[in-house]
A = this chain, B = another copy of it.
């Protein structure tokens, strides 16, 4: 990590910025998807939220749990557990000055695996589709973490 100052201005860092932003946007999209399901299916977590939909029915009955909404929320939670580590480790990884081709491979594999993971979760596709998508993304993260630790280890 001897020349990180120059690295931050590199193609690797631009590529990191691009892929990190794309996958964070994908994660934020899950919030909108949850809201969409809640509003169209009239399933809410808070009593005051029932004011967002019209209808004469008993509002208290709309505060309930729905299997599809919970599925979207689990998908969102899985993104939080995987996308955030990717961006944090990926930032440090980009600063270690990796080879551009290798870095792009890590970023593309991770981002691709997370899009496929969400499709596999929400369709849902039969297992082990989602499990493999999870493992591929995790593999990219572990490989970048190995590079960071082997380049920058300072305990």
| Distance of A24 from chain B, by nearest CB (Å) | 5
Point out the residue from B14, B24, B45 that lies within 8 Å of A154, measured CB to CB. Answer: B14
How many residues on A have C-beta within 8 angstroms of the other chain's C-beta atoms?
Answer: 62
Contact between chains at A21 and B145 (CB < 8 Å): yes
With a CB–CB cut-off of 8 A, which chain B residues contact A45?
A: 74
Taken together as a complex, chains A and B put the C-alpha atoms of A36 and B22 apart, in Å, by 30
Residues of A within 8 A of B (CB): 1-6, 8-9, 11, 13-15, 17-18, 20-22, 24-25, 27-28, 30-31, 45-46, 48-49, 51-52, 71, 74, 76, 80-82, 84-85, 87-89, 91-92, 95, 121, 124-128, 130-131, 134, 138, 141-142, 145, 148-149, 152-155
